């Protein structure tokens, strides 16, 4: 099954970062090719990503925007996917409505990585890659809705115990675990409860990401990305195996 009909996916993000230059006078870091690249990139993608928004106010000085996404390019107004560019950073974001790894998201990465590199006149040295999935469900739709620890244990296969008495009821949870993988990438799992922005209903949110800080050659990025997905995809099935996974069918 390529796509779960009721998948809990809220957002998938692929992120790149690259080395910045250092100004000799101020010693501040800056993206040397960014000023020209942003316009060139918009020109290269304008036939498909026609709607533009700016993520941050124009009055903020450029040197304060390093590794922050500034420009957003949408298919249509507020229509995903969205490409985001800033000094030293580029992301591709999508939601469950469009997402199929092999049919939509990975081809998006393939196509627009090439255009990003084309937009920069000089080579950019990639130093960070991150593939992240954000999933969420309404807690009230499931058993154990009144017990967060049981909910996490039964549905995501993670057990948290307190070996001391607590005179109170647990209201919030935030589990953050990081694992080193064979290729020295890091796997990060974050589980927390929250509230739906629109309905104010209680939610359980979990993020699964594989990232790596190293020097990447341009031709290594897609291979790394495929490998990261090959870790995250089966992990999702292992964590949610059983009634929880079946609820997404």
- One digit per residue, the tens of pLDDT, for the chain of length 249 reads 678 999 999 999 999 999 999 988 888 899 999 999 999 999 999 999 999 999 888 888 777 899 999 999 999 998 999 999 999 999 999 999 999 999 999 999 999 999 999 999 899 999 999 999 999 999 999 988 889 999 999 999 999 988 898 888 888 999 999 999 999 999 999 999 999 988 999 999 999 999 999 999 999 999 999 999 999 999 999 999 999 999 999
Verify that 12 and 97 share a domain, yes or no: yes
Number of domains in the chain: 2
The per-residue pLDDT for range 15-36, each reduced to its tens digit, is: 999 999 998 888 889 999 999 9
Other CB atoms within 10 Å distance of the CB of residue 45: 18
Say if 176 falls within a structural domain. yes
Say if 1 falls within a structural domain. no
Angle separating helix axes 34-45 and 106-119, nearest 10 degrees: 130
60 is in which domain, residue-wise?
8-124
Verify that 113 and 72 share a domain, yes or no: yes
Identify whether the C-beta of residue 91 lies closer than 8 Å to the C-beta of residue 70.
no
Distance, CA of 156 to CA of 140 (rounded, Å): 16
pLDDT, position 1? 67
Distance, CA of 60 to CA of 63 (rounded, Å): 9
pLDDT, position 23? 87
C-alpha pair distances (Å), 137 with each of 13, 62, 82, 159, 234: 19, 38, 23, 19, 19
pTM: 0.96
Angle separating helix axes 221-240 and 148-156, nearest 10 degrees: 120
Q: Which of 39, 68, 63, 62 is nearest to 52 (CA)?
A: 39
pLDDT, position 170? 87
Say if 2 falls within a structural domain. no
Verify that 113 and 161 share a domain, yes or no: no
Task: Name residue 83's beta-bridge partners.
Answer: 73, 92
Say if 204 falls within a structural domain. yes
Say if 43 falls within a structural domain. yes
Say if 160 falls within a structural domain. yes
């Amino acid at each position: 099954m390529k796509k779960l009909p009721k998948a809990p996916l809220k957002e998938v993000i692929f992120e790149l970062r690259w080395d910045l230059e250092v100004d000799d006078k101020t010693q501040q870091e800056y993206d040397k090719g960014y000023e020209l690249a942003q316009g060139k990139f918009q020109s290269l993608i304008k036939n498909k990503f026609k709607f533009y928004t700016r993520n941050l106010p124009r009055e903020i000085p450029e040197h304060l925007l390093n590794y922050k996404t500034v420009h957003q390019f949408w298919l249509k107004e507020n229509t995903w996917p969205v490409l985001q560019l800033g000094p030293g950073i580029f992301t591709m974001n999508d939601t469950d409505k469009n997402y199929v790894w092999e049919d939509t998201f990975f081809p998006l990465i393939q196509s627009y990585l090439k255009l990003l590199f084309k937009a920069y006149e000089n080579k950019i040295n990639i130093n960070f890659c991150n593939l992240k999935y954000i999933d969420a469900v309404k807690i009230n739709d499931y058993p154990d809705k009144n017990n967060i620890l049981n909910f996490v244990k039964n549905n995501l296969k993670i057990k948290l115990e307190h070996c001391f008495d607590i005179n109170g009821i647990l209201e919030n949870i935030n589990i953050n675990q990081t694992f080193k993988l064979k290729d020295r990438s890091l796997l990060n799992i974050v589980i927390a409860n929250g509230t739906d922005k629109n309905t104010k209903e209680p939610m359980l949110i979990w993020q699964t990401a594989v990232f790596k800080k190293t020097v990447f050659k341009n031709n290594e990025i897609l291979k790394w990305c495929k490998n990261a997905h090959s870790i995250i995809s089966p992990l999702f099935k292992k964590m949610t195996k059983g009634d929880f996974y079946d609820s997404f069918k």
